[in-house]
Amino acid sequence: MLKEAIYHRAGNNYAYAYDEKTLHIRLRTKKGDADKVSLIYGDPYDWTKEGWQTSSSPMTLSGTDEWFDYYLIEIQPPFRRLRYGFEISSGDETVVYTEKGFYEEAPFDDTAYYFCFPFLNAIDVFRAPSWVKDTVWYQIFPERFANGDTSNDPEGAVAWGSEEPKLNNFFGGDFQGVIDHIDHLVKLGITGIYFTPIFKAKSNHKYDTIDYLEIDPQFGDKETFKKLVKVCHENGIKVMLDAVFNHSGYYFEPFQDVLKNEEKSRYKNWFHLREFPIVTEPRPNYDTFAFEKTMPKLNTENPEVREYLLKVARYWIEEFDIDGWRLDVANEVDHSFWREFRTAVKSAKPEAYILGEIWHDSMDWLQGDQFDAVMNYPFTNAALEFVAKETIDAKVFAEKITAVMHMYPENVNEAAFNLLGSHDTKRVLNFCEGNKDKMKLLFLLMLTFKGTPCIYYGDEIGMTGEIDPGCRKCMEWDEEKQDLDLFNHIQSLLSLRKEHNVLANEGKLSFISANDKTLVYEKSSYDDSIMILLNAGDQPVEKAFIVPEGYELLFGNDASEEMMPYGFSMYKKK
């Protein structure tokens, strides 16, 4: 037994409160090393004349990645506190693993040997808004979705779709355009819109904010935005705005004051200024996003900056009834600010959703005191590598996804924001090099994965585009140029997801087999089960799947005879 690979810590994603009564406890071991793992546990104060009263229960293998096996058990301690250790068997060897190390036999003379979950306090349970679990998002880049009111077009705007997107051109997309096409989203099955920034800014992308309390006039006015939110809510669609609190724009009034008055500016402590006079070339002598001189980094440790930004956070909820915030470059802002931000947002609307843009392991932000979710790029990357790029096989994909699912507690996974592409990446169809069948498989994976999925505008009709600015083309509204077959595929998956809760967050995901290009996984709950099979290869697979007794074909082709290239099947338990 390789003891060095055995790992547990009494917190984070290894020991956490799933709900007000239930603890989830995980253990990691070397892949294939353990034959059996059990949890030894008891209340730390439950002593009799016979000694400390403990129980032992087997743990379940919850997944396997490239290097490790993961074991899980759910426990409901009657008094909400627990001391525990692990009994691990491998061949003829059995050891007991505790906080103090390894023992041949379990030490019961003192509970201090054992890992400790001191008390399950209800307030410490991670809680994302309940509605998020069933939401399907649609990301809209407002400048490029639809031009519903030409009277507010910015100076120099060109006709819709008349030229390729550039870093600095405008087409006049606005709020009225979204209102005019709300039926498209309803038809598809969308229940949430994520807007990239709408606040006053110089650029077409609006990530260089000039005024956080004003809408950019090219999108309309505040009354039009109120109407948009109302129309969305009437159609069962939530609204999430994008905020850039890491940095402002170059023309943000406080920064302009700093440029004008230098060290005499009352706003000099609003930013991270290293010296005076301020210079922008060849590199700015103040902190920025990356080294972009037009995006000076805000000093969120400054009380005045905090007060201003928290006012912004509350204002758009209280005045316009938005349902969530997506936070740009969230990992570069201090944790203390995000804790205050959460308190401010949740006081304005307890069920508001807080989503951070973080591309890496984000456990530090997902403790229940900051964000409800982050953008799940580890899922994105694994899915694209397996299906679109074909750089990994089914086995490696299953291992990568298992690692993703064990990065966070289960209640965190249920609110994860899953995506295949965005305004920051090239289009999904470009990743697939134009292969629509691959794209269908990617949407099958995302729309049956745990979490809340997001579709980038236009992907549902087969739009193409390389990385920024190519991925920001004008939405194609000519149905003759839309891929309606792809639209119907995604629409069907969303209908199935809504009809069968097991396909969304009620279902536990388990990999059944992963062989070369063929992947089989199951989504199951206590009363339902759906098996999903896909062939990510360009060759047919004969008799790819023996359909278990009691299952019937729900969607796709029958894989019991032959699995088509880039084919898929979905079987439901009768």
Q: How far apart are CA 400 and CA 398, in angstroms?
A: 5
Residue with tokens 């999430």: 240
Provide the 8-state DSSP code for 109: S
Backbone angles phi, psi at 62, to 5 degrees: -95, -10
Q: What is the DSSP letter of 247?
A: B
Instruction: Name the token pair of 367.
Output: 């403790």
Cβ burial, residue 4 (10 Å; 0-12/13-18/19+): exposed
**In a 3-state reduction of DSSP, which class is residue 185?**
helix
- Count of other CB atoms within 10 angstroms of residue 294: 19
Contact 537, 520 (CB under 8 A): no
Is residue 117 within 8 A of residue 81, CB to CB? The reply is yes
Beta-ladder partners of 515: 518
Residues 6+ away with beta carbon under 8 Å from 137? 190, 191, 192, 193, 194, 240, 417, 452, 453, 454, 455
| Token pair listed for 312 | 């912004």
Token pair in block for residue 467: 């990385």
SS3 97: strand
Q: Is residue 418 a contact partner of residue 505, using CB atoms and an 8 Å limit? A: no
Q: Which residues are catalytic?
A: 328, 357
**Residue 336 CA neighbour count, 13 Å, CB half:** 6
Pairs from 492-496 (Cβ < 8 Å, separation ≥ 24): 492/555, 493/443, 493/444, 493/447, 493/448, 493/555, 494/136, 494/188, 494/189, 494/190, 494/447, 495/189, 496/554, 496/555, 496/570
